[in-house]
Chains A and B, each alone.
Chain A
Amino acid sequence: MDRTKVSIRPSGLVWVAAAICGACTGLVGELPVQSTTSAPEPKVDGPIAPELLVPPPKDAAEPQLRRLSAPQLAASVRDVLGIDDGDASEFLIPIDESTIPSLLTVERLRAAAAAVTSLRAHHRFVPCAVDGAGTEACAQEFIETFAGRVFRRPLTAEELDGLMTTYREAQTQFGFVDSLDLITEVIFQSPQFVYVFEEGRDEPGLPAGLRRLTSYELATRLSYFLWDTTPDDALLAAAASNRLDDDQQLGAEVERMLADPRAKAKLIDFVTRLMELDGTARHVSIEEAVKDPNLYPLDNPALRQAMRKEIGEFVGRVLDEGGSISELFLSRQAYVNGPLAQLYGLSDGPSRPDEWSWVTLPSEQRAGVATRAAFLFVYAAPDIPSPIRLGAAVWRDFFCYNFPPPPPEAADVKIVPGEGQGQDPSIRRAVENKTSADLCRGCHSKMNPAGFAFGHYDAIGQWQDEERGTTPAGVAYQTAIDASSQLIGSDVEGAFDGAIALSAKLAESRQVRNCFGAKLWSTAFGRAPATGEEKSLAWIQARLAESGSLKEALVDLIQSPGFRYVRKAP
């Protein structure tokens, strides 16, 4: 967690807009706040317009040079060299906050290339004895094979020429094997490896300015999208024989890739990120969240690890069963160990920490991801649950609706149950009191009600029939929970009660599906949709609204023109 960026407050302080809280109009304080809602919003009321389901015309955006993420760099090096994660970890370089690389990143790339080269794992690509005098032909064959593998495509004549020139110059000074090592360091720092650069190729009959991705470029997109690593030999072979140009064969290749455990891991990671369980600029991760040990003796690092595992297994199972978004929000299947079973109040579940099994959670208390321990845990304060954080998370994570940042004083306003609020000491009442000022209401009138649905869970995600706490005066209290809730301004408006009903709303909302579609898109491209891609995205979203399947959305995304074409200025 050495690069979280904005203030996080692992404390009982809750974001409450205080005196100068701007309304959620896009203007906060003196400056326009950038809208971060990521996708153009198709109409969501009524049935899906048939025209949205018509496959989109061939159009695409101008491609942008993209640096592989640090995990992608490390995984690629690992897979090419056949080394383990630990040896490849030198490439886990802290991500620059800007798209422009920093000097430190370039220096770290240099050091990482040197470190993996020193392992000599690349020597197995040398087609002659590495300890001999070597020949230029041997060096050339090594460069063609190895650089081709690292660059994810065969070298151009110009590239080969450039690398051979470097080799020859090095060879006269440093000898054969040292020069191969030197070339290997060059290869791992080259733009053809570190960045994804797409040119596409001409294809007859395409609209002006539009080009089809080359087979190798498509293989690279597929591989980093579905696996977060470099294409494997089979995928490169498919590219080499132009099999990816054919829709059917592409479909078969995608199916093969989706069946791979790496695809499942990637989708689990997608959902984990969507729920911000790894921490973000706004809050800490499951592991880093602070909990009061006096109030929550059940909490410990192993329990947190179990929460993470449970979410991963659960998402994995939903994916295995077709990847239904409804199931993601509604299924009560849970993979639990002893401590988790205790947290969920199960009397017939496993009992030991190392004993894991699938159970069905009680229907009146639990549904899918939004009612699981991991989600409830990260969005709570150390001592009390936080309707404000949960409400903001529901909007941000599932509806792609982002509130502007709270003013600094908001962090100083503390939610204290039982503090000067008459007969009702509840957290809900405390939240309402502290956010009732006109200037706060702009955001909180939408945020709070969504969060109130979670009233029956404590700060580590345990079910509670009644809210129990202590007032500032030290008086223990016990009060009924009001979990009545609304999703104001959504396509699933209307009053409901509790987090199970909320989950049902999320499961049926088309806005939620649009949000998932947009986030999948951003995962595929590492950026928000751009001009030329709107129709591809709208089609994927409409299909997702209809099918409700994340897995099908993946396939749609790959089949969409936005994924397979690029726009290039002539």
Chain B
Amino acid sequence: MNSPRQLGRRAFLRGVGGALIALPILEATHGSAWAQGRTPAKRFVVVFRHGGTLSNIYRYPADTESWRLDGTGAEQGHDYWTPLDQGEALRLGPIHSVLEEHKDQLLVITGVDSQNGLEQCPYLGDHRWANKTILTAGNAEPDGPDEVTSLSPSIDQVLAQRLSQATSVPFSSVNLMVGGHQYGTPFFSGPRQPVEGESSPDRAFATYLGAVSSGTPDPALVRQRAKGLSMLDGVIGNYRRLQPKLSTVDRRVVDAHLTHLRELEQRIERLAISTCTTPTINQSVEEGDAERVGPIMADIIVAALKCGLTQVATLNIADIITPWLGEPFGPVGYDIGHSLHHVASDIGEEGSQYPKQAEWLQEMVSNRQWCLGLFKRILEGLKAVPEGEGTMLDNTVMLYTSEFSNGSVHSVNDMPLLLAGSGAGYFRTGRHINCNLLKDHPSGLKYRSRTSTHNLYTSIVNAFGFPDEHFGNDQVVFRGPLPGLT
């Protein structure tokens, strides 16, 4: 029981418990530090949407030339994601149009494959495998009969770990979810270690903003924190006593549990007493009410970043149809976004539902725009915070993606990848980066790529000042950053 760490804790509680209150964390990280001319802190935000976007790419085996669907035949395949211009000048596509006013701060990246998804997914595209590879660019493996797990961390968690080592924050990452039908988390903090997002607005608020006060700290809160530390100390003791008795497999479980308990501990220690203005939320919002949950989650992310509680945030949006515009498409009941997408073949010129094509497209595009609207809400929240000579957005990198491009065929080629924020001037924004080697083909329907998410994530890690030459598993042909971003 008397490890140095725990003695340190007790000393901390008895000795400086009160003194820690003195310096609000916001000022500690965002006030004097910049005044001394240090590099601005950088933040990373991922918004992930389950079920793919509206793309006309067809999946194809690696190393063969393939095609885009022209949007008229039995397979449908409208493209509402790709910018209207194949070149560098950014002309936003229909889904992106909600971000028009922020165009200068965007980078739309096309022609990039999820190479690991391609290599590992059954049928070159499977929900579970695609989810486990899209943000990790790593290997996955089956986990029981129905699940797949990742063997490497996702880009957000790699950055969360590194950034929180460099700058102490209460939450190494804030992880939220707009719940509903979905295909498993794409976020991993290590091998077989999933990161799940909180889907209840109340709990999300309590977890991430509950200990933040807007004025003089409540003495009850100070006492609560001390009790929390004491309590976790006791729980940790019980897990540690079990450790030596365990097999290798069981140790993984208990080690992970202990790591998480320590993270909870760290949250309390690092939170000190933070004063910051937090949003007020309507406590009556139910988890299933996506249209109201989504904006609240976006606001919590903005508040957590603004208050310096974290440097990394993830928002995981389930495969939901929001808003619901009209009657279900025939026969009945496409209440899951992806099911609606799977009706694509009926909506094409030769399909039985062709008369409903316009309605279908409106529904699909609105839905994707709604999801991107949450991205926009975070973006605008950050843009409203002055920082240095610009705004908080300028010192942030935001990524929007999904596990598929064309959800209807489960394609992991030509992934939907959208960046916002230059990462303190690292990326040259306001452009379209097109990695399709056949982008100049007159038909506009040819596709070939030698670029993977491996490259993009290497670029992102570099943007945060880490000189890595590679991200993800060892795909030699996909080493190095993605050219042309900086």
- A: residues with CB less than 8 A from B are 1-13, 20, 28-31, 33-34, 36, 38, 62, 64-65, 67, 94, 96-108, 110-111, 158-159, 162-163, 165-166, 169-170, 173-174, 178, 182-183, 185-186, 189-192, 195, 197, 199, 281, 290-293, 381-383, 402, 404-405, 407-409, 411-414, 416, 472, 569
Contact = CB atoms under 8 A, between A and B. Distances in A.
Contacts, number: 242
Contacts of A186: 231, 234-235, 238
A382 B143 CA distance: 32
B418 interface: no
Contacts of A106: 257, 260-261, 263-264
A8 B123 contact: no
Size category of the binding interface on chain B: 35 or more
A298 to B, nearest CB: 16
Given A411-B342, A414-B346, A5 B184 contact: yes
Interface stretch (B63-71, B79-87, B273-281, B328-336): B328-336
A98 B197 CA distance: 15
Contacts of B332: 11, 290-293, 382-383
Contact of A62 (B238, B247, B408): B247
B432 interface: no
B183 A6 contact: yes
Interface in B335-364: 335-336, 338-339, 342-346, 352
B246 interface: yes
The 3 closest A-B pairs by CB, nearest first: A290-B333, A166-B234, A106-B260
A469 B335 CA distance: 24
Interface stretch (B174-182, B366-374, B463-471): B174-182
Interface string B198-209: 110001001100
A405 B126 contact: yes
Residue picked from A7, A107, A190, A291, most chain B C-beta under 10 Å:
A7
B410 interface: yes
Contacts of B318: 2
B264 A110 contact: yes
A2 B199 contact: yes
Contacts of A8: 181, 336, 339
A3 B331 contact: no
B441 interface: no
Contacts of A382: 331-333
A200 B192 CA distance: 29
A292 B180 CA distance: 22
Nearest to A166: B234
Given A9-B342, A159-B241, 9 more contacts: A13-B343, A30-B61, A31-B121, A97-B143, A101-B253, A105-B196, A173-B226, A190-B239, A281-B146
A2 B287 contact: yes
15 contacts: A3-B182, A5-B182, A10-B336, A30-B61, A31-B122, A65-B250, A101-B257, A104-B175, A106-B260, A159-B241, A162-B241, A178-B227, A402-B145, A412-B345, A416-B352
A346 B94 CA distance: 56
Contacts of A472: 352
B235 A100 contact: no
B344 A408 contact: no
A409 B195 CA distance: 30
A389 to B, nearest CB: 15
A94 B197 CA distance: 11
A159 B238 contact: yes
Interface string B371-387: 00000000000000000
A180 to B, nearest CB: 12
Given A158-B241, A281-B146, A292-B331, A104 B198 contact: yes
A107 B260 contact: yes
Nearest to A181: B227
A178 B231 CA distance: 11
A62 B144 CA distance: 18
A246 to B, nearest CB: 28
A64 B408 contact: no
A200 to B, nearest CB: 12
A352 to B, nearest CB: 29
B168 interface: no
Contacts of B124: 29-30
A6 B128 contact: yes
B321 to A, nearest CB: 12
A4 B179 CA distance: 11
Interface in B224-259: 226-227, 230-235, 237-239, 241-242, 245-247, 249-250, 252-254, 256-257
B196 A102 contact: yes
B127 A29 contact: no
A412 B121 contact: no
Contacts of A67: 253
A104 B197 CA distance: 7
Contacts of B343: 11, 13, 412
B320 to A, nearest CB: 10
A412 B127 contact: no
B239 A28 contact: no
Contacts of B73: none
B234 A163 contact: yes
Contact of B196 (A64, A104, A412): A104
B331 A12 contact: yes
A35 to B, nearest CB: 9
Contacts of B175: 103-104
A165 B230 CA distance: 11
Contact of A170 (B122, B145, B227, B264): B227
Interface string B104-130: 000000000000000111111111100
